[in-house]
């Protein structure tokens, strides 16, 4: 997305080492892209600070009837923000929209006043707020404009050789109870490439001449191999099949590799292969889980790729964010399926429709929450501590 640099002075028009844009560059790019979709910016920029808890009013809009509006929060640095739009009688027009650059789109039938409320998941964070207007019937455009800007900025990088070295086999990623675990320091090999992850899986190679829909005998485990070596072999075989235009079979290998070694580099490639084969829900869950992980194989570039892919998948799946008391022997189920600890406190991807979330401690159910969520929407469920 369009990252504002914290080192740019006023009017500076050069890119900085972190790949950020000056405020002038970012807004000019947004203005051009939105204009191509029929939108024009209303007024100037609002420089705001979002609190870590609670929402504040970023803007009050006196909207005309028969128009469509789209608002964008453009943060300085990296942080997750949420945005909500409230209309007459304080009714929610657009529910909480969360991300690095949250947007809110709505259309009006008659003139009315609308309030835009923004908050940050971290401590107080700076951001700039923009509002665009278009004719009636115009669809949301800001996310597409920003995604295209990132594609234009992201040069092709030579794919590093995959590696599974680092955490102990069988070790799970850090639990994400309540908050996401983040580490934005880049891990690099001796040549300066991002190590431990092949985030951008090529799809334009020639198909395999012997591609089949069944796994070859190589999938049978050899007891002489260690789990680490086996996972590495499955990982490389899976990547090769994906590159040979056989992503369905490659996905089988990558799933097995991740079961043997819960490594971020395996997971992000699994997510890409699932997305290629139309598995939107599996891909969204894999990308979401990757963003909760830490350590080798989690790099700034790979995080950007994961976030960009997850934004595209948001149109295909729904999300549930839940919080629950941290208690020994606590157990959470979604639609009667157990959830792992990393799923707490994040936007957990689910299939659109009815959701049932239950919370139990020591086998005793203490709470059940029911909700229905549509594609692209998110519902927040909170279990209160037991009395």
pLDDT digits (tens, 9 = 90+) for 104-118: 999 999 999 999 988
Q: In terms of domains, do 121 and 170 share one?
A: no
Question: H-helix or E-strand containing 264?
Answer: helix 264-276
Q: Is 8 inside any structural domain?
A: no
| pLDDT at position 16 | 28
What are the start-end ranges of the E strands in 210-345? 318-323, 330-334, 337-338
> Which of 198-212, 220-234, 251-265, 367-381 is the least confident region?
198-212
| pLDDT at position 180 | 30
Q: Is 12 inside any structural domain?
A: no
Nearest to 289 by CA among 250, 318, 312, 258: 258
CATH number of residue 274's parent domain: 1.25.40.10
Q: Where among 315, 335, 360 does a domain terminate?
A: 315
Query: Cβ contacts of residue 60 below 8 Å, gap of 6+?
Result: 113, 114, 115, 116
Q: Is 29 inside any structural domain?
A: yes
Q: In terms of domains, do 77 and 139 share one?
A: yes
Q: Is 213 inside any structural domain?
A: yes
Question: H-helix or E-strand containing 268?
Answer: helix 264-276
Q: In terms of domains, do 183 and 275 share one?
A: yes
Q: In terms of domains, do 165 and 311 share one?
A: yes
Task: Work out the number of other CB atoms within 10 angstroms of the CB of residue 91.
Answer: 8
Question: H-helix or E-strand containing 156?
Answer: none
Nearest to 180 by CA among 314, 13, 61, 345: 345
Task: Work out the number of other CB atoms within 10 angstroms of the CB of residue 196.
Answer: 25
Q: In terms of domains, do 166 and 302 share one?
A: yes
Return the DSSP state at 341. Answer: G
Q: CA 283: distance to chain centroid?
A: 11
| pLDDT at position 387 | 60
Q: Is 2 inside any structural domain?
A: no
Q: Is 35 inside any structural domain?
A: yes
| pLDDT at position 215 | 45
pTM over 0.75: no
In the block, which residue shows the tokens 């891909």? 283
Long-range contacts, stretch 83-88, CB < 8 angstroms, 24+ apart:
83/58, 83/116, 83/117, 83/118, 84/55, 84/116, 84/117, 84/118, 85/114, 85/115, 85/116, 85/117, 86/114, 86/115, 86/117, 87/112, 87/113, 87/114, 87/115, 88/112, 88/113
265, pLDDT greater than 50: yes
Is 337 exposed, middle or buried, given 0-12, 13-18 or 19+ CB atoms closer than 10 A?
exposed
192, pLDDT greater than 80: no
Average pLDDT, the chain: 74
Tokens of 10: 């006023």
Q: In terms of domains, do 280 and 330 share one?
A: no
Residue 21's pLDDT band (boundaries 50, 70, 90)? low
Cα-atom radius of gyration of the chain, to the nearest Å? Answer: 22
- Tell me the range of 118-122, 234-238, 321-325, 371-375 where mean pLDDT is highest: 234-238
User: 366 versus 384: which is more confidently predicted?
Assistant: 366
What are the start-end ranges of the E strands in the chain? 40-41, 46-50, 56-63, 67-75, 81-86, 92-99, 103-107, 112-120, 125-135, 318-323, 330-334, 337-338, 348-350, 353-361, 364-373, 378-382
Q: In terms of domains, do 310 and 243 share one?
A: yes
To 10 degrees, what angle do helices 247-260 and 264-276 make? Answer: 150
Q: Is 91 inside any structural domain?
A: yes
Q: Where among 265, 281, 315 does a domain terminate?
A: 315
Tokens of 327: 């208690």
User: 106 versus 49: which is more confidently predicted?
Assistant: 106
Q: What is the mean pLDDT of residues 291-303?
A: 84
Q: In terms of domains, do 304 and 183 share one?
A: yes
CA dihedral 218, 224, 227, 232 (to 10 degrees): -50
Q: In terms of domains, do 307 and 182 share one?
A: yes
Q: Where among 315, 339, 371 does a domain terminate?
A: 315
| pLDDT at position 225 | 55
CATH number of residue 76's parent domain: 2.60.120.380
Query: Cβ contacts of residue 302 below 8 Å, gap of 6+?
Result: 194, 197, 199, 264, 268, 290
Q: In terms of domains, do 278 and 208 share one?
A: yes
7, pLDDT greater than 60: no
Backbone angles phi, psi at 79, to 5 degrees: -165, 155
Q: In terms of domains, do 292 and 348 share one?
A: no
| pLDDT at position 45 | 80
Sheet with strand 56-63: strands edge to edge: 56-63, 112-120, 81-86, 92-99
> Which range marks the domain in which residue 73 is found?
23-153
Domains in the chain: how many in total? Answer: 3
Q: What is the pLDDT of residues 56-80, one digit of tens each?
A: 888 899 999 999 999 998 887 667 7
Cβ proximity of 53 and 119 under 8 Å: yes
Q: Is 4 inside any structural domain?
A: no
Q: In terms of domains, do 352 and 311 share one?
A: no
| pLDDT at position 217 | 42
- Tell me the range of 158-162, 233-237, 328-332 where mean pLDDT is highest: 233-237
Q: What is the mean pLDDT of residues 173-194?
A: 31
CATH number of residue 340's parent domain: 2.60.40.1120
| pLDDT at position 367 | 85
How much of the chain, in percent, has pLDDT values that exceed 70? Answer: 72
User: 18 versus 111: which is more confidently predicted?
Assistant: 111
305, pLDDT greater than 50: yes
| pLDDT at position 386 | 60
| pLDDT at position 82 | 85
């Amino acid at each position: 997305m369009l990252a504002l640099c914290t080192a740019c002075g006023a009017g500076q028009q050069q890119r900085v080492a972190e790949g950020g844009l000056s405020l002038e560059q970012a807004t000019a790019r947004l203005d051009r892209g939105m204009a191509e979709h029929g939108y024009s910016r209303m007024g100037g920029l609002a420089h705001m600070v979002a609190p870590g808890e609670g929402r504040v009013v970023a803007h009050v809009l006196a909207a005309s009837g028969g128009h469509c509006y789209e608002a964008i929060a453009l943060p300085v640095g990296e942080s997750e923000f949420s945005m909500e739009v409230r209309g007459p009688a304080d009714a929610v027009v657009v529910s909480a929209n969360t991300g690095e650059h949250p947007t809110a789109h709505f259309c009006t039938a008659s003139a009315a006043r609308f309030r835009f409320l923004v908050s940050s998941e971290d401590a107080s964070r700076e951001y700039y707020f923009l509002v665009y207007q278009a004719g009636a019937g115009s669809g949301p455009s800001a996310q597409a404009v920003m995604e295209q800007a990132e594609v234009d900025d992201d040069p092709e990088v030579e794919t590093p050789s995959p590696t599974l070295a680092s955490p102990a086999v069988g070790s799970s990623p850090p639990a994400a109870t309540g908050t996401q675990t983040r580490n934005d320091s880049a891990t690099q090999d001796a040549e300066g490439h991002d190590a431990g992850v092949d985030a951008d899986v090529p799809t334009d190679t020639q198909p395999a001449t012997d591609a089949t829909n069944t796994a070859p005998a190589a999938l049978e485990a050899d007891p002489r191999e260690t789990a680490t070596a086996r996972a590495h072999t499955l990982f490389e075989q899976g990547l090769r099949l994906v590159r040979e235009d056989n992503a369905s079979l490659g996905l089988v290998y990558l799933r097995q590799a991740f079961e043997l070694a819960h490594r971020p580099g395996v997971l992000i490639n699994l997510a890409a292969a699932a997305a290629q084969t139309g598995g939107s829900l599996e891909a969204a869950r894999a990308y979401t889980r990757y963003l909760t992980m830490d350590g080798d194989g989690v790099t700034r570039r790979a995080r950007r790729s994961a976030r960009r892919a997850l934004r595209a998948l948001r149109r295909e799946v729904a999300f549930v964010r839940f919080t629950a008391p941290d208690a020994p022997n606590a157990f959470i189920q979604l639609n009667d399926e157990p959830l792992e600890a990393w799923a707490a406190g994040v936007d957990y991807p689910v299939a659109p429709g009815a959701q049932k979330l239950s919370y139990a401690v020591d086998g005793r159910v203490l709470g059940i929450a029911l909700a229905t969520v549509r594609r692209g929407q998110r519902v927040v469920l909170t279990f209160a501590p037991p009395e």
